Structure 1
C-alpha cells in the first residue's frame, strides 16, 4: 500500500510490526484528503502523528528495529503517557514522527489542562478540536475512520467543533480554527459560530480580564500565547486575525482588542520594523502589561512594552510636543529607559507625532559628532567627563542644523 506524504520505508516498517491497532491521525489525514503534504509549521518537513492502542514505547521499539537505529536521529519520550517524538533521516530526508497511546480527555474545570486517561482509538478521535482533525487512517487495513463526519465537512469547506462544549473546555480551539480557516480557506459552520459566540458572551471561565493575570487558566494564558505565536509566525496572519475578530474571539485577549480596528496597520508596521507581532497586538489592549503577564510573554518582549509605555508617558507629558526641536526630540527618545525598539513600537502604535519619530528612526539617531573622540584627544583634550560632554555638545550642534 502507498500513502502519499508517508515515506515508503516508514510504511513498510509499520506494516511489519505487530503491536496492536495503529492509525495515522490528525492533520496528516486531513491534508491527505486535501491532496496536500502535512508538514511541520516550523521546519517544513513531513510531520506524522501515529496513535496506538497500546504502549507507544512498544511501537517505537518495533519500528526502530525495522528501520534500523542509524535512521533515528532523535528519540525522546514525554510525560506520564509516554508520547514519543522521533526524528528520522531517510536517505537525507528528515521526517518527524509523533507516536502516542490512544487516550481520552475530560475537562472538569473549563480552560484548565484536561484530565487524561488511556482509551481506544475512538476515544482519541473524540477528544480532538474539529471534525476535520478527528479522522484516522488505520494502517493495517487502509480504512479511513471518520466517526464525526470530517470528510463531509472538508468537502463542504467548513470547520465544525466536535462537541457542544468544545469552546468552553478549551478556548484556544478558536485560535486553531482561525489558523485553519486562513490556511485552508474554510469557514466555521453556523452551529459552531453560535457556540463560539455564546461561550464568549457568557464567559464560562472562572477567570476573566481584570483578575490577577497569574491566576489565568492555561487556555487563557500560556497555551493561548503559543497558539497565537503559531498563527502570527506561520500563517497568513492578517486573514487569520480578521477571522478571529469576526468570531468575536479577540475578546479572549481583551475586549478593547476585540473592538480595535487599528491592529492591521499596527502589525504591518511592526513587521516592517522587525518587531514581534504579538507585542504589537498586545499593545492595543486596555492594560498591555497585564495581558503580557497573563500570556507570559518572554522577558525581552515584556521589557519592550514597559519601555514603550514609559516613552508614551514622556511624550504625553510634553505640554507642546509638536514644538520640540530636533535636539529636544533626540534627548527625549534617547533617554534611559526607552531604547530603539520602543521608538519602533511607538511608530507602529502612532504614539505621538509621527514625523519626528520617523525622522529619528531613519536619520537622527545615526548622526554623531563631526569630530570623533580620537580627534579631540589628538588636539590635546584629556580623557574624562569633559571629553564626553564635548562630544555631546558637538552632536547637539549638528542636530541643531537638522530640520524637522
Structure 2
C-alpha cells in the first residue's frame, strides 16, 4: 500500500526495527489507511496527514529505541514517550509518527475513560469508532487487515459503528461521526443512526453542576470539548453542526443548543472577525458560562464568555438610549471592565446594538486625544488626575466629532 509522501527508507527502518525485536505485527492504522484506500481505489485527492499512526504488538518504547539505534540522531530527530498511554511520538526522516502498543479497552461505566490493557492488533482495531477507521496495513506481512468491513463501508460511503454500545461507551463518537460525514461526504448507516437516536433518547446525565449525582463524568466533558474544537478548527463546521442538530445531538453539549437557530449566523460572524468559534457556539446554551466551565474551556475563553454574557444582559436593561452619542457608549463600555474580546464576541450574537459595539471595537477604542500629555503640560497643565481627565475629555470629544 503506497502512501504519497512517505519515504521507502522510513518504511524499511520500521520493518528492520520490528524484525530486530521479533514483533508479530507492526501496522499503520486509522485515518492514514482509510485515506490511502480512498485515494488509490476511489479517486479521492490525497490531502496528506499531519502524522502517521502505527500500532505494534509488543513494546512501543523498545521499538522506538531500536529505531534510534538503526537510524541515529540525524534521521530520528525527536522522540517523546507517553508512558501511561504506551505511546511514543517520533519524527523520522521528517515525518511525524505516533507509535502505540496494541491495546484493548473496556468501559467501567458509560462515558468514563476506558480501562486500557496490552492486547493484540485485532483487539486494538475493535476499540475504534467506525469500520472505516478499523483497518490496518501490516508493514511486516504486507497485508491489509479489515475485520469489520471497512472497505465495503468505503465503497458505500457509509459510517458504521463497530458494536451496539459504541455511543453509550463514548458519546463523543457522535461528534466524530459529524466530522467524518462532513469532511468525507459520507452518511451514517441506518443501524448506526438508530443507535445514536436511541442513546440520545435515554441520555443518562443532566449536566447540572448543582446536582453531583446527575453530572456527566468529567473526562467525558473534556473529551467532548476536544472533539468540538477539532470539528470547528479542522472540518466544514457548518455541515457538521447541521448534522448534529439534525440528529438531535446538540443536547450532548446543552439541551438549549438543540433549539438554537442562530449558531450559523454567530459562527459566520466569528470567522469574519477572527473570534474563537467554540465560545461563539456556546452562546446558544442556556447558561454559556456553566457549559464553558463544565467543558473545561481555556481560562481566558471562559472569562471572555462570562463577560459577554454579562454584557448582553446589560444591553437589555441599561444600554444607552437610541441616539446617544458615541462618547456615551465609550464611557459605558470602557467603564464596565469588559474586554475587547467580550465585546466582539457579543457582536457575533447580533443584539440590536451590535453595530455600535462593532464601531467601538473596530474604531472608537483606538481613537486617542488630539493632544498628548506632554503638549498639555507645555500648555500649563500639571501632572495628575486633572490631566488624565482632560485627555479623556478631548478623546471623547474627537470620537463624537468623527464617530457619527
1:20-54 Cα offsets, whole Å, 9 max, x none, are 221111111101101155744xxxx4x21111111
The separation in 2 between residues aligned to 1:143 and 1:213, in whole angstroms, is 51
Indicate the residue corresponding to 2:208 in structure 1: 210
The separation in 2 between residues aligned to 1:173 and 1:162, in whole angstroms, is 11
Give the C-alpha shift of residue 398 in structure 1.
Answer: 2.8
| More helix, by proportion | 2
1:51-104 Cα offsets, whole Å, 9 max, x none, are 11111122222233332332112111113352111112x2xxx21111111111
SS of the equivalent of 1:260 reads coil
Say whether the 8 Å CA contact 1:221–1:295 is kept in structure 2: yes
Give the C-alpha shift of residue 337 in structure 1.
Answer: 2.2
SS of the equivalent of 1:34 reads helix
Q: 1:86 to 1:268 in 2, by over 3 A?
A: same
1:75-114 equivalences under 5 Å are 75-88=79-92, 90=93, 94-114=94-114
Q: 1:251 to 1:136 in 2, by over 3 A?
A: same
Give the C-alpha shift of residue 375 in structure 1.
Answer: 1.6
Give the C-alpha shift of residue 212 in structure 1.
Answer: 4.1
Indicate the residue corresponding to 2:309 in structure 1: 309
**Considering only aligned residues, what root-mean-square deviation do their CA atoms show, in Å?**
2.0
2:198 is the alignment partner of 1:189 = no
The separation in 2 between residues aligned to 1:184 and 1:277, in whole angstroms, is 22
With 166-175 and 307-316 compared, the bigger mean Cα shift is at: 307-316
Give the C-alpha shift of residue 4 in structure 1.
Answer: 4.1
1:215-230 equivalences under 5 Å are 216-218=216-218, 220-230=220-230
1:250-289 Cα offsets, whole Å, 9 max, x none, are 1111111111111011011111222111110111110001
Q: Give the gaps of 5 or more residues in structure 2.
A: 40-44
1:77-156 equivalences under 5 Å are 77-88=81-92, 90=93, 94-156=94-156
1:244-393 equivalences under 5 Å are 244-318=244-318, 321-393=321-393
SS of the equivalent of 1:221 reads helix
Say whether the 8 Å CA contact 2:111–2:216 is kept in structure 1: no
Q: Give the gaps of 5 or more residues in structure 1.
A: none
The separation in 2 between residues aligned to 1:203 and 1:142, in whole angstroms, is 43
What's the TM-score, normalizing by structure 2? Answer: 0.91
The separation in 2 between residues aligned to 1:53 and 1:175, in whole angstroms, is 30
Say whether the 8 Å CA contact 2:181–2:187 is kept in structure 1: yes
Indicate the residue corresponding to 2:55 in structure 1: 51
Q: How many matched pairs?
A: 393
Say whether the 8 Å CA contact 1:346–1:352 is kept in structure 2: no
SS of the equivalent of 1:109 reads coil
Q: 1:287 to 1:213 in 2, by over 3 A?
A: farther
What's the TM-score, normalizing by structure 1? Answer: 0.91
1:95-146 Cα offsets, whole Å, 9 max, x none, are 1111111111011111110011111111110000000000011112211111
